[in-house]
Amino acid sequence: MPPDKAGIIPRLRPRSAFPTQPVRPLNERPMSTALRPSACPGLLRIVQALDGGICRIKLNGGSISADQADAVAEAAEQFAGGAIEATNRANLQIRGIGEQSAALIERLLAAGLGPRTAAGDDVRNLMLSPAAGIDRQMRVDTRALAEQILDTLQSHPRFHELSAKFAVQLDGGEALAMLEHPHDLWLSAFERDGERLWAFGLAGCPTDRAIGAVAADHGHALVVAVLELFLQLARPEQTRMRHLLDERPMPAFLDTLKTRLPIKLIGDWQRCAVAQDLHIGVHPQNTSGRVYIGAVPALGRLHPAMLRAAAQLARQYGDGSLRFTPWQSLLLPNVETADAATVLEALEQSNLLTRTSEPLTRLIACTGASGCGKGLADTKQDARHLATLLPSGVSVHLSGCPRSCAAAHRAPVTLLAVSPGHYDLYFRDATQPGFGALHARNLTIEAAAILLDVRARSPLDA
């Protein structure tokens, strides 16, 4: 899809990555800035879809201030169709943008939601735990290193050559962590013999076997070295780490990396799996008397009123910030335990889901045919219907086409659209690529629900 031609990109001013603070509207005259072609939307690149333009707002560490959340809600209402999406990379998207794309961009930049440089927007792909700094299980507060990495990515023109999809993950050992999304580079904190280290791997997830480790104070140097080496070795068409490793074996890459910084061998270390559903409901923090509260907008879709309501609750009961998650949900951090019930009730009154028993908290659906030209079915509408038929505890991903835009990981169950209202059914299988093992073809939503209900009741799948 071609980038929007109407928007004029205003001059950007530097800002701090953490914490994000609103800035005054720019007084400088807007200037045109050349952006490289890409099918991926950004804040400065509006990409067209059936329902209008899409603007993706990359959030540093998934965090946004309450004032910034209000600015997003206002921009979506004033310059677009009012649809806001929480993404599976802990970012936000505004959909349905029309001819006022330049005004929308200007409004978001004035709220401090843009990159430090125009060319730096694409490369701000750094995922943290939504509970970074407050998780009771964390080994490291990753936010300081994240700020350093984000500053480097935006400030060094060499890294602007990276693909808009090239992504890095920092895992501080938190209980609340998305460990299934593959990243081009991941770092995971652990301790061995009293020493704090960063285990790391390429083109995979922290639950994969690490290829090595570096000392805690070499985390930034490791990221820089890996990215520089990738750019040095990869051909232009090799945009992701997996593309390079298909041609250049991992041991060879690692041998070259060892000439740039000291790498420790750590044998068979692997990140342990984490508890499920910690992004929903009330959960204690690492500070006594404080909790975070997670809420899910159904199918990742937020209305401006919902976002404003959450922002006001963050001001009144939290620390004035919201954190978005890779599960397309949001957290209110630093709420006093005594206020948790009040906040929970207010979130529910705002049509946000706060209970794991609600089927829609377990369903993922892309935009589908109502907003995407590649969608073969109205996945959002079909997902809402499926939610009324499913047994409790079943997680399903509905995808309008094979691109799987809504899920960066392999879901336990995937319904892949083949025509309006009809889907092929897949079950996750580590031995098979893509969505997994094909179980049935051309099912209606009702037929799919029956098969999933039978599977859920089967003792073999318990």
- Of the given ranges (107-116, 273-282, 435-444), which has the lowest mean pLDDT? 273-282
- Please say if the pLDDT value at position 11 is more than 60: no
Q: Is 272 helix (H, G, I), strand (E, B) or coil?
A: coil
Would the CATH topology of 139-172+180-258 be identical to that of 361-461? yes
- Give me the CATH code for the 139-172+180-258 domain, please: 3.30.413.10
Say which residue, 16 or 283, is predicted with more confidence: 283
Angle at 199 between CA 193 and CA 201, to 5 degrees: 155
Q: Distance between CA atoms of 164 and 106, rounded to whole angstroms? A: 22
- Please say if the pLDDT value at position 1 is more than 50: no
The 10s digit of each residue's pLDDT in 81-93 is 999 999 999 999 9
Element (H, E) at 316: helix 304-317
Backbone angles phi, psi at 85, to 5 degrees: -120, 135
* Residue 316 token pair: 């009144």
Q: Distance between CA atoms of 54 and 48, rounded to whole angstroms? A: 6
User: Which stretches of 107-161 are assigned E, i.e. beta strand?
Assistant: 126-127
pLDDT of residue 458: 76
Q: Distance between CA atoms of 451 and 16, rounded to whole angstroms? A: 51
The 10s digit of each residue's pLDDT in 165-181 is 999 999 999 999 999 99
Say which residue, 273 or 390, is predicted with more confidence: 390
pLDDT of residue 17: 35
Domain boundaries, the chain: 139-172+180-258, 281-356, 361-461
The 10s digit of each residue's pLDDT in 223-271 is 999 999 999 999 999 999 999 999 999 999 999 999 999 999 998 888 9
- Give me the CATH code for the 361-461 domain, please: 3.30.413.10
Q: Distance between CA atoms of 286 and 254, rounded to whole angstroms? A: 36
If one counts every other C-beta atom within 10 angstroms of the C-beta of residue 336, the result is 13
pLDDT of residue 37: 60
The 10s digit of each residue's pLDDT in 329-385 is 999 999 999 999 999 999 999 999 999 999 999 999 999 999 999 999 999 999 999
pLDDT of residue 461: 52
pTM (2 d.p.): 0.90
The 10s digit of each residue's pLDDT in 25-57 is 333 323 334 555 667 899 999 999 999 999 999
- Please say if the pLDDT value at position 197 is more than 60: yes
Relative to beta strand 396-399, strand 363-365 is parallel
What torsion, rounded to 10 degrees, do the Cα atoms 95, 155, 124, 31 define? 10
> Which residues lie across from 49 on neighbouring strands?
52
pLDDT of residue 6: 33
- Please say if the pLDDT value at position 61 is more than 70: yes
What is the topology classification, in CATH, of domain 281-356?
Answer: Sulfite Reductase Hemoprotein; domain 2 (3.90.480)
With a pLDDT cut of 70, the percent of the chain lying above it is 91
Say which residue, 201 or 1, is predicted with more confidence: 201
pLDDT of residue 116: 87
pLDDT of residue 270: 86
**For the chain, what is the total number of helices (H) and then of strands (E)?**
10, 20
The 10s digit of each residue's pLDDT in 88-131 is 999 999 999 999 999 999 999 999 999 988 889 999 999 999 99
Relative to beta strand 47-49, strand 52-57 is antiparallel
What average pLDDT does the segment 390-413 reach?
92
Q: How confident is the model at residue 275 (pLDDT cuts 50, 70, 90)?
A: confident
Name the average pLDDT for the chain.
91
